[in-house]
Structure 1
Amino acid sequence: MTARNVVLIVFDTARADVLASHIAEESPETSPLAKLATEGTTVETAFAGSPWTLPSHASLFTSTYPSKHGAHAGHKRLESGRRTLAEAFADAGYETVAVSNNTWISDEFGFARGFDEFVKTWQYVQTEADFGAIARTQLGTDRLRAALGRLFDGNPFLNAINAIYGQYLRRRHDDGARRTNEWVADWLDNRIDDRPFFFFINYLEPHLEYRPPKEHAERYLPGETTYEDAMDVPQDAWGYIAGTVDMDDHDFEVLRSLYRAEIAYLDERLGELRRYLEAAGEWTDTVFVVTADHGENIGDHGFMDHQYCLYDTLLHVPLLVHGGGFTDDEPVDELVQLPDLGPTLLDATGVDAPTYRAQAQGRSFHPESAASPREYVVAEYLAPQPSMTALRTRVGRLPSDVRRYDRSLRAIRDEEWKLIRGSDGSTELYHIVADPEERNDLSAGRPDVMRRLDRMLDEWLASFEQAEPSGSVDMAEGTKRRLEDLGYLQ
């Protein structure tokens, strides 16, 4: 059975274990996520190809890994050498639309290719000039001078509106989910195009900083902790890693509660989105996907945020699929990766897209696909983000144990074992069946497994041509400021 439309949703930074716990504790009558899991297919062993937004979305869009698509911390742009999923659907006659709440996922970094319409929720009025963070760029008279300088670049009136909205109004209620759904509802109500559509949405809410609505947070906060107390808990990932911010077990318990509340809030918004599709008569003819670009460390392995490591806290992502042949059968427990989604969605809609399929490193897991199951999954972290220089600028002198993160990492994981290999010569080996939390490094005691996985990783790397992106990637000052607001130091 093929579907006519595709709605692909990314819950930015959503851990698989937290989403699974939320679904298990809710009911289909009260939780749209639980209802989706009951009616559709849950992929229990889905993994990202990279632990942070830009390279992971690039893999999702192109069905290739960072070594092939070339977008990572060392080159922060998805260049035009790889076809995107939006281009594949556009070539097949689809209307293609995206709504992004994450600054990385924008035209500035190469992600708008193939979309007929690309909405950036940090702008109240969609313009090429980006002034969303204009009031944060400087202090005092310097702020005024910088604002006036940018105000007249393009349409001064629209720029002023975007500046006010980006600084003072956008995050009054949430990180964009409400406005996203309002935009989608209006788009569906006013749509006269009879083509099938491919719709991509990035919801940002689970991302640091965790600021869920008070009524959602109070449901999960521990003990006598008030919402006001919770908002005072430090959320400075880089200060924590560098040892300039102290966190205790209670602090992390609070942060985990806030994170869970963010998921619960998005669950509500997901139900709202589904109702809009149902009211428009599009739900039954749509393949509807909910996943994440990566997970999150909330004190796990000594980290906050989603950088500097390749543990499953960052790589194991939720994946729920409904429609287009995906039904309420048993959950999928074979290994799946985000690059597999592109070929799978093409199969679910009956789209050929030969150019896209030819570049794809992913393999379809559609129920009618003839592709063989994966023997292993791979993840890449090709450069630290933030760099040691950017981190030092933010926090001051770095302890020696932090400087060890100045490296690239690759990981390979089969059904039983996982190897993490660093450019500095470091190795870690985990028996993930017995040690799913990756606490006991067995690299010194299992040389046979080490050699096998090491060889498999080398053979995988040798199986395709590596990307060699050249040239620096410039970004607007306002973009840099918004990324810093998200915790990305440039």
Structure 2
Amino acid sequence: MGRRTFVVAAVVVALVAVGAVVVVRSRGATDVLHTETGARRPNVLVIMTDDQTLESVRVMDNVKSRLMGEGTTFSSAYVSFPNCCPSRATYLTGQYAHNTGVKDNVPPLGGYTKLRADDTVALALQRSGYYTAHVGKYLNGWGSNGDITAPPGWDHWYGLIDPTTYRYFDYAVSDDGVRVDFGSDDGDYQTDVLGAEVVETIRAAPADKPWFVSFTPLAPHSEQLEGAANDAGTTTTTAPGAAEEFRWAAPKPAPRHQQQLAAKFPRGASFNNLGTGKPEAIASKPELTEGFQRLIDQGYQKELQTLLAVDEWVGTILDTLEETGQLDDTVIVFTSDNGFFHGEHRLAFQKYHLYEPSVHVPLVIRGGAFPKQGRVTQLAGNVDLAPTIYALAGVSPSVTVDGIDLAALATGDDPAPGRALLLENDSAGGRVHAEAIHTGRYVLIEHETGELELYDLQKDPEQLTNLAGDPAAASLLANLQQRLAGLKECSGDTCSAGQS
């Protein structure tokens, strides 16, 4: 049994036996350096789940009590591009996809190789004296070409190797360039292995540097295994409502959680309901059968179960920070790379479309200037994550960033009143080609086909009544179209311009 496997096994045994999170003895707390002006340079931990919906946070007790209860919740947080690779590129750079150039999960428009390696916040922090570490999923395609050396900007690298990334067991990681293969034993469960690595990384970080750690588990993402057994049914299935065909297998919860949370997906007004005025690509979707709805429910239960392990590791990491004296010097960000559809608008087992279930995500920040039990209702985006981290570290961005520092919003000083967010999806493969402007209340979606969708979220939060053809909304529509045209080409401060 290897060193990391032993740590995982020990923690899992404790979780099962006493229902509590335990940590190993500290190697000693680190000291946080200061800027030349004497300002504290905090440690920064980003925890990013994969395909997690806003609604699902309800099952994560540590996130609710120890992050939301001790930090600031951004209730109107959105990802600009609801797809894994483009969204993560935006997190790492602070730029919209039309500026990163990463517009898909695979070449030619996307994938790991499309990201400009010198543009990441990790590299900028590393150059400024931060110790940087990545644990988990990076960008789609990483390692699939056989090169598993760490990308620029990371002092410690514990990255999942594609295509094994999408396996909860029997996957491989690159441990600073050395391949490590994991099997199918309980102690090999991916979230547990990655969580233990984060704990070890925090303990082993140099004492003379602040650190930046990015923790990105697969959960609650599905296992997309061609021809594999499906835990939510008997075989993998091609999901109706997806614009592309793919083989879907339910996510695998940790063995200790497999009998928990017997939950059905909540049926809101948009479930299996198109409403009025949807574009042809959506309006033509067939009703979801009872059998397919059962598959949605079974998959949803598995997703929630996988999040229980993530939540346990959130607790363990917080315990570790407290035990080592680092908690007060650490800012913790919890979010997801995008949401997911579970039958809303007859869409399931996918994201991609620019409706609320796929773009509205959890975001909470604890530590630093972020108030305890704070709540920010203004728009926040994943495009704001890197600018916020730059500001926390006192580092000038290495690229022109399109977002803002969220600490200003959290402390009541809105740096961009009236700002709207851009939503994009221009991916290949026939998925979705659309762009949108989100003002917080109104959403205007422009499709490549010329079709328009306009929703008033205050009156129609589930986006069932398209107002684009309503004469009473003509002036609003024209204004939003003008603003969207500017956002499509924006860069830097022009992306944060307020109401025109």
TM-score by length of structure 1 reads 0.71
Q: Deviations over 1:39-91 (max 9, x none)?
A: 11111111001101100010111110111110122232343276211012112
SS state at 1:211 partner: coil
CA contact (8 A) 1:106 1:112 kept: no
- Work out which of the residue numbers 357, 361, 366 in structure 1 matches 2:407: 366
1:280-359 aligned at under 5 Å gives the runs 280-349=324-393, 351-356=394-399, 359=400
Task: Return the offset for 1:180.
Answer: 1.1
- For the pair 1:415 / 2:458, whether they are aligned, the reply is no
SS in 2 for 1:119: strand
Partner residue, 2:488: 461
Please report how far the alpha carbon of residue 196 of structure 1 lies from its aligned counterpart in structure 2 after TM superposition.
0.7
Tell me which residue corresponds to 2:318.
Answer: 274
1-structure distance, mates of 2:323, 2:131: 19
Q: Partner amino acid for 1:257?
A: Q
Q: CA deviation at 1:377?
A: 1.1
- Given the superposition, is the C-alpha separation of residues 115 and 410 from structure 1 closer, same or farther in structure 2, using an over 3 Å criterion? same
- Per the alignment, residue 235 of structure 1 pairs with none
Residue equivalent to 2:215: 201
Query: Aligned-pair distance for 1:278?
Result: 2.2
SS of the equivalent of 2:337 reads coil
Q: Deviations over 1:69-117 (max 9, x none)?
A: 1012223234327621101211211111101235627467999331112
* Cross-structure match for 2:452: 427
SS of 2:133's equivalent in the other structure is strand
- Taking structure 2 as the reference length, what is the TM-score of the superposition? 0.69
Separation in structure 1 between the aligned mates of residue 401 and residue 340 of structure 2, nearest angstrom: 27
C-alpha separation in 2, matches of 1:191 and 1:352: 20
Secondary structure at the aligned position of 1:375 is classed as coil
Residues 220, 303 of structure 2: 8 Å contact kept: yes
Equivalent residue for 2:129, pick from 93, 102, 107: 93
Structure 1 position 186 matched with structure 2 position 211? no
1:111-145 Cα deviation digits (max 9, x unpaired)? 9331112212459xxxxxx98899xxxxxxxxxxx
Aligned counterpart, 1:441: 466
Q: Aligned pair 1:169/2:184, yes or no?
A: yes
Hey, what does 1:37 align to over in structure 2? 68
Query: Aligned residue for 1:231?
Result: none
Separation in structure 2 between the aligned mates of residue 122 and residue 81 of structure 1, nearest angstrom: 18
Aligned to 1:83: 119
CA distance in 2, matches of 1:6, 1:463: 28
Q: How many residues align?
A: 385
* 2:23 counterpart residue number: none
The structure in which a higher percent of residues are helix is 1
Contact preservation (8 Å) 1:51, 1:295: yes
Query: Residue type matched to 1:442 in 2?
Result: L
- 1:57 maps to which residue? 88
CA contact (8 A) 1:62 1:82 kept: no
1:204 CA drift (Å)? 1.1
Render the CA deviation track for 1:430-458: whole Å, top value 9, x for unaligned.
11111111122222113322222111110
* Local SS of the residue matching 1:436: coil
Q: Distance in 2 between matches of 1:261 and 1:3?
A: 36
Distance 1:355 1:195 in 2: 20
Q: Matches of residues 62-77 of structure 1 in structure 2 within 5 Å?
A: 62-73=93-104, 74-76=109-111, 77=113
Distance verdict in 2 for CA 1:373–1:133, change over 3 Å: closer
Residue pair 2:437, 2:444 contacting (<8 A) in 1 also = yes
The answer as to whether partners of 1:96 and 1:114 remain within 8 angstroms in 2 is yes
Q: 1:243 to 1:437 in 2, by over 3 A?
A: closer
| Structure 1 pair 175–427 and aligned structure 2 pair: CA distance change class (3 A) | farther
Question: Structure 1: how far apart are the matches of 2:188 and 2:307?
Answer: 12
Asked if the contact 2:85/2:139 (under 8 Å) is kept, the reply is no
Cα distance in 1, alignment partners of residues 331 and 442 from structure 2:
33
Q: Tell me, what secondary structure is at the counterpart of 2:81? A: coil
Conserved? CA contact 1:6–1:197, under 8 Å: yes
Q: Distance in 2 between matches of 1:173 and 1:437?
A: 41
CA contact (8 A) 2:434 2:448 kept: yes
Amino acid at match of 1:411: A
**Shift of residue 372 of structure 1?**
2.4
Equivalent residue for 1:383? 427
Spell out, residue by residue over 1:337-393, the C-alpha distance to the aligned partner (whole angstroms, 9 max, x if none). 1111112122223x131434xx00001121466722452111111114xx25xxxxx
Q: Supply the AA of the counterpart residue of 2:45.
A: V
Alignment CA distance shift 1:422-1:131 (3 Å): closer
Does residue 248 of structure 1 match 2:280?
no
Query: Could you say if the C-alpha distance between residues 463 and 121 of structure 1 is closer, same or farther in structure 2, counting changes exceeding 3 Å?
Result: closer
Q: Distance in 2 between matches of 1:133 and 1:376?
A: 34
Aligned to 2:262: 221
Unaligned 5+ segments in structure 1 are 124-129, 135-157, 224-240, 389-404, 466-490
Q: Tell me the SS of whatever aligns to 1:298.
A: coil
Unaligned runs of 5+ in 2: 1-38, 168-177, 223-249, 265-284, 493-500
Answer 1 or 2: higher relative contact order, Cα 8 Å, separation at least 6.
Answer: 1
Query: What one-letter code is carried by the residue in structure 1 that aligns with 2:156?
Result: E
The amino acid across from 1:443 in the alignment is: A
1:262 matched to 2:306: yes
- Contact kept, 8 Å, 2:288 with 2:343, in 1: the verdict is no
> Could you say which residue in structure 1 is the equivalent of 2:25?
none
Report if the CA contact (8 A) 2:118-2:152 is conserved: no
Task: State the SS of the aligned residue for 1:89.
Answer: helix
Distance 1:440 1:309 in 2: 16
Q: CA offsets per residue over residues 135-185 of structure 1, 9 Å max, x none?
A: xxxxxxxxxxxxxxxxxxxxxxx77x63xx3xx438x56762211122223
1:287–1:321 contact (8 Å) kept in structure 2: yes
183-192 or 6-15: bigger deviation: 183-192
